[in-house]
Structures are given as C-alpha cells and as structure tokens.
C-alpha cells in the first residue's frame, strides 16, 4: 500500500480529486487530500505547505507519493523538502525553480508568448473564457459543479518568498496534450529546462482529474511501480 498526497491547484479545493480518490483506494492505497487556504490573502506557499503537513499528520511516517496539479507544483516542491517523500509527480503543473517566486514564474518561463501561440494555432480568440480554457473536455455536469463551488483564489502565493532548492527525490512530470492553460510544447520545455527530465504525456486538458480520472490513475500507478514502491 502506498500513501498518495494529492495537492490541488489555484481556485480549487480537495473536491477536484473526488473522481480519483475512490480509484486509488480501490487499488489498496491511502489517499490524503489537503484543502489549502487559497482564499486567505495572508497565505502563500509556505502557509499552503504547512497546511498540507498538518493534514498529512500521522501519514508522514509512511513515505509519500506527492501529486500536484497546476499551481500546486510550488506547494508540492516545498512539501517534499519537509516530509518523507518517495515520489513527486507534477501534473499539468507550474514547474518551480530555486530562487524564483511564483509571481516571477510567468515572465521567467515565457508563458504568455507560449499560450498566445497555442491559442492562435487552435483558433481561440483573445481573452477566452474559463470554459474554453479549462473545461473544454470536462463533462458538462462536472464543469457546472466546479464553477458553482464557492472557492476564491487570493494572490497570496504570488507574493511568496523565492523558492528554496528543489527536493532531491524521484520526480515525474505528466503533461496533458490538449492543455490550453499550459500548452504541451511549453510543458515539455519546462520539464527539460527546470527539472532535467522528459515529460510523460496523457490525453486531455488542464483538469485531468475531472475529465480523465481512470487514465490519470493508470499513469500514477505506473509511476509508482516503476519507482519500486
């Protein structure tokens, strides 16, 4: 049995993983899903990390598989420096860099140009709405439920201190080939430049835990087995 810690992204909460949790538990694993204090403007990545540590609690002794989606990549990287982590998985995530703040990430990575080029290639106009960018492959009922959840994202994490050195733990990066928020070519480059690894790839857009939970769990379990866990 492994213990998975699932870290949600911005403007979200642990509900994001609700289709993944039963699949991992059915495979015999423990699952921990912290609710980060995303609505609190006084909280940044250090506070998000501390909140996750408190939720993990006694599970910390097990050694963890930490999976982080989107903005959660920053929290996961810091978390893996503070709790025993056997495997770190970035999922459609912002790959951090030591010495850089989350607020600096956007310009430092060349994100805006990459997204504009991808939008143009797909024929998406300027300033696409949330449904177009995030929910284009999510079932309509789930998209409606997600958009109706009362979760507001503060800008606290983007004013966080620079990131510490990245954890020296086995790391995988799983991108989504149809991601409109973080385009696939951009993510392939981020995995190489920032983490020194080749990204794994799966179907779908930016929210794979909602759109393709079975496919996502197959990849996570493959990573676990390949890591000898």
- pTM: predicted TM-score of the whole model, two decimal places: 0.97
Tell me how far the alpha carbon of residue 99 is from its chain's centroid: 20
pLDDT at 61 over 80: no
CA distances for 32 relative to 7, 18, 22, angstroms: 9, 11, 12
Q: What are the start-end ranges of the E strands in 8-143?
A: 30-32, 64-69, 85-91
pLDDT digits (tens, 9 = 90+) for 5-23: 999 999 999 999 999 999 9
Q: Give the residue from 115, 78, 111 showing the smallest Cα distance to 190.
A: 111
SS3 state of residue 7:
strand
b vs e for 110-128, b when ≥16 Cβ sit within 10 Å of the residue's Cβ?
A: ebeebbeebbeeeebeeee
Strand order in the sheet with 64-69: 30-32, 3-7, 64-69, 85-91, 171-176, 200-202
pLDDT digits (tens, 9 = 90+) for 127-146: 888 999 999 999 999 999 99
pLDDT digits (tens, 9 = 90+) for 151-196: 999 999 999 999 999 999 999 999 999 999 999 999 999 999 999 9
Q: What are the start-end ranges of the E strands in the chain?
A: 3-7, 30-32, 64-69, 85-91, 171-176, 200-202
CATH class of 3-226: alpha beta
Query: 171-176 and 200-202 as β-strands: parallel, antiparallel, unpaired?
Result: parallel
Residue extents of the structural domains in the chain = 3-226
Query: How many residues are recorded in the chain?
Result: 229
**Alpha-carbon span 25 to 47, nearest angstrom:** 28
SS3 state of residue 147:
helix
């Amino acid at each position: 049995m492994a213990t998975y810690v699932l870290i949600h992204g911005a403007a979200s909460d642990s509900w994001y993983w609700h289709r993944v949790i039963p699949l991992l538990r059915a495979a015999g694993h423990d699952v921990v899903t912290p609710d980060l204090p995303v609505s609190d403007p006084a909280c940044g990545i250090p506070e998000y990390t501390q909140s996750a540590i408190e939720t993990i609690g006694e599970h910390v002794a097990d050694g963890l598989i930490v999976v982080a989606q989107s903005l959660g990549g920053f929290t996961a990287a810091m978390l893996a420096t503070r709790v025993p982590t056997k495997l770190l998985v970035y999922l459609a995530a912002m790959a951090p860099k030591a010495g850089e703040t989350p607020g600096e990430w956007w310009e430092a990575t060349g994100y805006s140009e990459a997204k504009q080029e991808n939008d143009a290639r797909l024929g998406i106009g300027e300033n696409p709405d949330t449904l177009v960018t995030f929910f284009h492959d999510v079932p309509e009922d789930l998209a409606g439920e997600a958009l109706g959840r009362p979760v507001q994202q503060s800008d606290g994490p983007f004013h966080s201190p620079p990131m510490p050195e990245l954890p020296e733990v086995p790391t995988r990066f799983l991108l989504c080939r149809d991601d409109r928020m973080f385009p696939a070519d951009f993510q392939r480059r981020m995995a190489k430049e920032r983490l020194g690894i080749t990204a794994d790839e799966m179907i779908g857009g930016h929210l794979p835990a909602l759109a393709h939970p079975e496919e996502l769990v197959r990849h996570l379990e493959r990573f676990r087995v390949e890591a000898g866990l």
